[in-house]
Amino acid sequence: MKCKYCNGKAVIYVRRTRTPLCPSHLEEYLIKNVVKVFKHYRIDLSNKKILIALSGGKDSSTMASLMKKLSEVEDFEVVGLYIDLGIPKYSDYSLKAVEKLSRSLDLEVRTINLREALGFNISDTGFKRRTICSACGIIKRYLMNYAALVDGCQIIATGHTLDDITAYILKSYITQDLKSLVKLGVYNPPLNKLIPGKVKPLGYVSEKESLVYVLSSNYPFYHEECPYVSHETIEFQAKRFLNMVEAKHPGIKLYMLREYEKNRQLYEKLVEYPPLRRCKICGMPSQREVCSFCSIVKRITGSYDSVLKMWENNFLRII
Ligand code: SF4
Ligand code: ZN
Ligand code: ZN
């Protein structure tokens, strides 16, 4: 099959637009979709420093490459962040992929090592599998905010795709979890000076497009899943279900996301949050006296000391 725009060999057929694309036109198409996100949410990137969250996986490699390319023609700066969770084999191989990506994109990347910063690895928390993932999510979100603040970044970009976001939206509908539902947009503006804006530049890009892009462009990524991933979760099953619907109705995921975006303000009106205060340990915004991050660190290490030490020092290391 030939690319719709040139004589090159197509590497993907985008069903929702009925377009075969070669690697360079796929890149152009993906960059256009990333720009659409910034335009739709009126995110002003000029003179901003954006923290690119890297996991070593395909989607963050795609996102990093597209954001780096955009930064070369637009007026903003990007730096990468890899959080080393200390998961045997998985974290080592992911870090190697990030190091290769950093060289191939000429992207400056910082790492933060959990053991060095907080004194423990995710694997030795003693938690059960599901608890590990919810603790890991809270720790990663907090460390991204920490890195952005320490490094002077105003926006954090993550590699979530259209498939991830729609699966989480469906999960929130199923469980009627309105508090989670309102947070699932492609962009969440900064909360205050301590919580930077969070954007998902691949919000209009599918996982398949992302995979074909990294493979056809030869960008490094680590393809194994974290050993703690569970395929039994509601979000994983929601993703499988949406893939089946998308196969029969190409474009349905994008339609679902667009409709969600229209209704998001309505959902926001239905949710009541307790007023935000400052965590009495770390000073970060929290709905409770002690934030979830500090509570988890205390549960694992027996004290809050490592949180205080982390804020007194800079644990970001440049690769
Ligand atoms: Fe963390 Fe769970 Fe994801 Fe592994 S699967 S990186 S433990 S959230
Ligand atoms: Zn082409
Ligand atoms: Zn705290």
**Residue numbers in the chain where pLDDT is lower than 50:** none
Query: Does residue 136 line the site of ligand 1, with CB under 6 A?
Result: yes
Q: What is the pLDDT of residues 203-247, one digit of tens each?
A: 999 999 999 999 999 999 999 999 999 999 999 999 999 999 999
> Structural domain boundaries of the chain?
23-318
Give Dmax over CA atoms of the chain in angstroms.
63
Q: What is the pLDDT of residues 18-51, one digit of tens each?
A: 999 999 999 999 999 999 999 999 999 999 999 9
Rounded-to-integer distance, Cα 311 and Cα 288, Å: 20
Q: Which of 26, 67, 94, 41 is nearest to 202 (CA)?
A: 67
Please give the number of the atom of ligand 1 that sits closest to the Cα of 140: 1
According to CATH, the topology of domain 23-318 is Rossmann fold (3.40.50)
Q: Residue 175: what pLDDT?
A: 96
Rounded-to-integer distance, Cα 163 and Cα 1, Å: 26
For residue 117, CA distances in Å to 78, 182, 195, 298 come to: 23, 32, 20, 14
Point out the ligand nearest to the CA of residue 26: 2
Dihedral of alpha carbons 183, 144, 229, 204, sign: positive
Q: Residue 319: what pLDDT?
A: 87
Residue 9 CA to ligand 2 center (angstroms) comes to: 7
Query: Does residue 226 line the site of ligand 1, with CB under 6 A?
Result: yes
